[in-house]
């Protein structure tokens, strides 16, 4: 799966939780879930669960620690799918 497809899929996942619509519209590899999209930290759990369900992967604690931005999320998904 190419990066652009992954970002588009992540965009759909974070949409219900993102409070900054402009940042969501401009989502890219450098987008931070909390600082840019203003996703509240309790909803970051939902993002992680949604990613797990969508890709049928398990995000362990070690990976979860890094799930604060698009770049890390892509890396984690790619690693788990490999």
Partner 1 sequence: MMGSGVTDNRIVGDTKPCMMGSGVTDNLIVSDIKPGIISTGITDNLIINNIKIPLIGNDIIDLRTAAVESNWRRPNYLSKIFTPEEQSLIKDDKTVWWLWSAKESVYKIINRATLQRRYAPLSITWFSENIFKYEGEKFFIKSEITDEFIHTIAVANPELFPQLEVCKDPTIKYYKDENGMPMIDNQPVSISHHGRYWAMVKQKNI
- Burial grade of 59 (CB within 10 A; 0-12, 13-18, 19 or more): buried
When the beta carbons of 6 and 59 are compared against partner 1, the nearer one is 59
| Residue 6-35 contact track with partner 1, rule CB under 8 A, x = bound | -----------x------------------
Piece of 5-13, 22-30, 60-68, 73-81 that binds partner 1 (CB under 8 A): 60-68
Residues with Cβ within 8 Å of 56's Cβ and at least 6 positions away in sequence, in order, are none
- Residue pair 7/28 in contact (Cβ under 8 Å)? The answer is yes
CB of 20 to partner 1, least distance (A): 15
């Amino acid at each position: 799966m190419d990066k652009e497809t992954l970002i588009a899929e992540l965009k759909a996942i974070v949409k219900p939780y993102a409070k900054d619509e402009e940042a969501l519209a401009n989502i890219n590899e450098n987008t931070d879930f909390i600082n840019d999209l203003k996703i509240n930290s309790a909803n970051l759990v939902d993002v992680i669960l949604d990613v797990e369900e969508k890709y049928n992967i398990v995000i362990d604690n070690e990976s979860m620690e890094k799930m604060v931005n698009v770049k890390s999320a892509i890396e984690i998904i790619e690693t788990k799918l490999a």
